[in-house]
Amino acid sequence: MPFTRVAGLEKWEGIILDIDEELMTAELTPLDRTGTCLVADFQTQLLGEDAKVAGPGDVFYLTVRTVRSESGYPTRTEQLRLRRLGVWTEEDVARLRQEAATRMEKIEDLFD
């Protein structure tokens, strides 16, 4: 069975500056914060179905992998994913506040 080896992995957080049906311009910051920020253009289609809802100010993640095949030739792949924050209802927030208050009472009881 042929093997592949990940020879490099780079991750960035991006903020969409401008987007249309074909191109997306974004500011990229390395997740390890060791490199420099840069501005780059991507094909909007790389966001897949998320391209329909993406807009300026949205955050996405870019992962680039370099893989070496058994023959030694490198292949690079990239993946863009829009950050998903989820949808919080008023009931969710009220429930979480109640849970936090209950936990705080239990913590306070430890020190009485």
Tens digit of pLDDT at every position of the chain (112 positions)? 455 677 678 899 999 999 999 999 999 999 987 888 999 999 999 999 999 999 999 999 999 988 887 777 888 888 999 997 777 889 999 999 999 999 999 999 888 7
CA distance 67 to 11: 15
- Give the max Cα distance, the chain: 68
Look up the pTM and report it: 0.67
Please give the structure tokens belonging to residue 102: 């209950």
Please give the structure tokens belonging to residue 57: 């100010």
Four-way CATH pick for 4-86: 1.10.3470, 2.40.50, 3.30.700, 3.10.50: 2.40.50
